[in-house]
Amino acid sequence: MTDPIPSAPTGEDRPATVNLRVLATSDMHGHVLPFDYFTHQPDRPHGLARGATLVRQARDEAGEDHCLLLDNGDFLQGTPLSDLTPHPGHGWRGQHPVMRAMNTLGYDAATLGNHEFNFGLDWLRRTLHEAAFPLICTNVVTRSGDSPLEDDTFLPPFVILTRELRDTAGCAHTLRIGLIGLTPPQIMTWDHAHLAKRLTVRDMVDCARAWVPEIRRQGADLVIALAHSGIETGPDRPMPGPSLPDPSLPRSISEPAMLENAARAIARVPGIDAIIGGHSHRSFPGPDHGTTPGADSARGTLCDIPCVIPGFAGSHLGQIDVELTRRGEGWQVTGHRATLRPTDATAPCPHLARRLARAHAHTVWLTDQVVARTTHPIHSYLSLVQDDPATQLVNHVQRSALQEALAQTPHAGLPVLAASAPFKTGGRGGPGHYTDIPAGPLRLRNVADLYGFPNTLCGLLVTGADLRDWLERSAICFNRITPGRTGQALLDPEVPGHSFDVIAGLSYRIDLAQPARFDGAGTEIAANARRIRDLCHAGRPVADTDRFVIATNSYRAWGGGPFRGLMARGMIYRGRLSIRDMISEHVTRLGTIALQPRSGWGFVPLPDTHVEIETGPGLRAYPQDIAALGAADLGDTEAGFLRLSVPLGRGKWIPALANPEYGAYIDIREVGAGRHLANPVRSGRKQP
């Protein structure tokens, strides 16, 4: 029998101090168990199951009643466990595995990230209904009022949690903790096909300024912002964006651009006591923001309030310890400490593993189904240096699908191109974040590895001028290179690899001696800069007025990344099937894939010039690819990446000019019927 908790003395003459521990996850992206469903390798050094052990430790240290566990969004999408298992037609009839895991851990509240909207609103509502904890989102609106306080929101705009806490003298006090949840307004661009005419999104900072005083008025003693937003190094004010003269577009698209990474501006909103950030896949406190104005890693503060950004894929558990002192009727923050707990050296929680055992077994079985064969390896280690088979395969499927869709339309006579980017190029994902599929059986997990997002196919009418602009924006991932020097870094670490679109059906070269025309946000910074040279189609130079159709994904069609949204004036086709499912059905139908990669793009030769790139050490399994580049192995970096020195003066780029058709870059031979296993449950195979 426990001792009763003494009640707090009445009156205002006695100050009291209580301690609250806030634990936070963000950008989990379906990484629950320490298992890589793409490679079927166990014991991966991250994931919520490892974080669960740290949660238990933290609760034991501070007392469970004195702890909150919060999630900052992007938890429902990202791995086959989260994406394939609950997908219709794949045979899983249980609770969503991620929701089951979060319920098991006893989350106190969560907000939505941008990727929660990837599968559409109807799916999202059904899935969120499984949560045993409150979900909030302040700035996603179903009906706009004259001010944020008058909006009808997709989820409740805030929640106030009530907790009974002991002070340092052992007396009980009621503490009311207010939470707001904010997500990037850019969801209206990234998932426009799902959200158009159903939602609008307000600016995160404006919503915080409107709602925090109201939450205080309703009795919150402490306010924490769950802001699915990173720490931007630039100005807190958004740069004006181009208005789109399409009255059917949601207001958040047609108005000037709103901040995507606004954590610093949100932290300065009066009345917010702590902030949980995310979205950027960075970590804070830590070296990722060592020189960012307002970010103090030594103190764990952002604009002088405690802040954590707990990495991604379950790499860290964020922890903010807050001391509150009551003087009179109100509570004030009198001390705080923000830290990150890395999960890589922590044993996974066995209880959570048992709770997910059936979903895990189903996902392993599902992803191991053979859908085709490949005669050559498919990897993305060199996808930012040369045409690579992974991107070529995606582009081939997109082009062939769009060409078939347009066969009986007025656009059938136009040349069909395709644009896609490599999705796994290391970076913040680490030295193992690459596609690496050996020759032999091609399994469903390999298809999921090739295309990890639930985007759909779009067909756009474009001009030659549009294509030049598109490729100039793609080329921003490269640093400017000084001819005649060695040891220069090829890649700009601030630009993710998935911003490097390759357009199949064209040939072109990239002049790295020129500056980038655009920055990472797509803003023109060097109007006269031109990196794209020798742009040709079918052996003929592309004129600005030439007309084409290009197959791309829904994210890019609506302006995702540093690219212009061309949908308002150029959309002629919109598919319903996800590109990932299209790839699965395509290769299943063909049976065997025989890749014959050709160079659609290359660098303008720079004699006596060597650049350095970091890639995955798995590339050493393909020494012929290293030799073909003329590259030198410089060993591994401290982070575990393979460092290569690559010459830019070899001049071996041979464009594929002869055939403008979609088979120019990939030759797929049909050698067998290939049983359809995109939905293996319907194939008659028995589940485990």
- Domain harbouring 136, CATH code: 3.60.21.10
Same domain, 425 and 395: yes
Report the relative pairing of strands 301-302 and 295-296 from DSSP bridges. Answer: antiparallel
Same domain, 308 and 387: no
CA 90 to chain centre: 24
Q: 471 vs 464, 467, 530, 533, 683, CA distance in Å?
A: 11, 6, 10, 10, 42
Does residue 6 belong to any structural domain of this protein?
no
Task: Print burial letters for 9-22: b (CB count within 10 Å at least 16), e (below 16).
Answer: eeeeeeebebbbbb
Same domain, 482 and 579: yes
141: helix, strand or coil: strand
Structure letter (DSSP) for residue 491: B
Task: Say which amino acid occupies 547.
Answer: R
Q: 329 vs 52, 163, 173, 221, 326, CA distance in Å?
A: 36, 17, 12, 10, 7
Beta strands in 184-343 (DSSP E): 200-201, 222-227, 274-276, 283-284, 295-296, 301-302, 305-310, 316-327, 330-342
Does residue 460 belong to any structural domain of this protein?
yes
Does residue 606 belong to any structural domain of this protein?
yes
| Token pair recorded at residue 233 | 């190094």
Same domain, 321 and 426: no
Phi, psi of 152 (to 5 degrees): -95, 120
CA 600, 604, 609, 612 torsion: positive or negative? negative
Does residue 390 belong to any structural domain of this protein?
yes
Phi, psi of 413 (to 5 degrees): -85, -5
Specify the pLDDT at position 236: 58
The count of structural domains within the chain is: 2
Q: Are 96 and 86 in contact (CB under 8 A)?
A: yes
Same domain, 613 and 656: yes
**Which of 330, 362, 394 represents a domain boundary (last residue)?**
362
d(CA 325, CA 520): 44
Same domain, 216 and 255: yes
Q: What is the DSSP string of 109-130?
A: EEE--GGGGTT-HHHHHHHHTT
Report the relative pairing of strands 152-153 and 140-143 from DSSP bridges. Answer: antiparallel
Q: Are 125 and 112 in contact (CB under 8 A)?
A: no
Same domain, 348 and 391: no
Specify the pLDDT at position 240: 39
Phi, psi of 123 (to 5 degrees): -60, -40
d(CA 602, CA 471): 12
Same domain, 475 and 620: yes
Q: Give which of 381, 310, 304, 351 is closest to 633, Cα–Cα.
A: 381
**Which of 344, 362, 380 represents a domain boundary (last residue)?**
362
Which helix H or strand E contains 555, and what residues bound it? helix 554-557
Same domain, 404 and 336: no
CA 151 to chain centre: 28
Same domain, 144 and 224: yes
Same domain, 384 and 326: no
User: 6 in the Ramachandran plot: left (φ > 0), alpha (ψ -120 to 50) or beta?
Assistant: beta
Q: Are 276 and 70 in contact (CB under 8 A)?
A: yes
Q: Which residues, at least 6 apart from 119, have a Cβ–Cβ distance to it below 8 Å? A: 76, 77, 194, 454
The residue assigned the tokens 């006269």 is 528
Same domain, 356 and 382: no
Task: Say which amino acid occupies 405.
Answer: A
Q: Give which of 128, 247, 239, 242 is closest to 197, Cα–Cα.
A: 247
d(CA 449, CA 601): 24
Does residue 12 belong to any structural domain of this protein?
no
d(CA 491, CA 510): 13
Q: Which residues, at least 6 apart from 440, have a Cβ–Cβ distance to it below 8 Å? A: 373, 374
Residues (pLDDT < 50) of the chain are: 1-12, 239-256, 652-688
Task: Say which amino acid occupies 48.
Answer: L
Beta bridge partners of 17: 325
d(CA 29, CA 313): 6
Q: Which residues, at least 6 apart from 217, have a Cβ–Cβ distance to it below 8 Å? A: none
Question: What angle, 0 to 180 degrees and rounded to 10, lies between the N-to-C axes of helices 357-367 and 97-105?
Answer: 150
d(CA 501, CA 522): 14
Rounded to whole angstroms, the maximal C-alpha distance in the chain is: 88
Domain that holds residue 61: 18-362
Does residue 126 belong to any structural domain of this protein?
yes
Could you tell me how many residues make up the chain? 688
CA 372 to chain centre: 28
**Which of 332, 362, 392 represents a domain boundary (last residue)?**
362
The CATH number for 446's domain is: 3.90.780.10
Specify the pLDDT at position 672: 29
Q: Are 557 and 567 in contact (CB under 8 A)?
A: yes
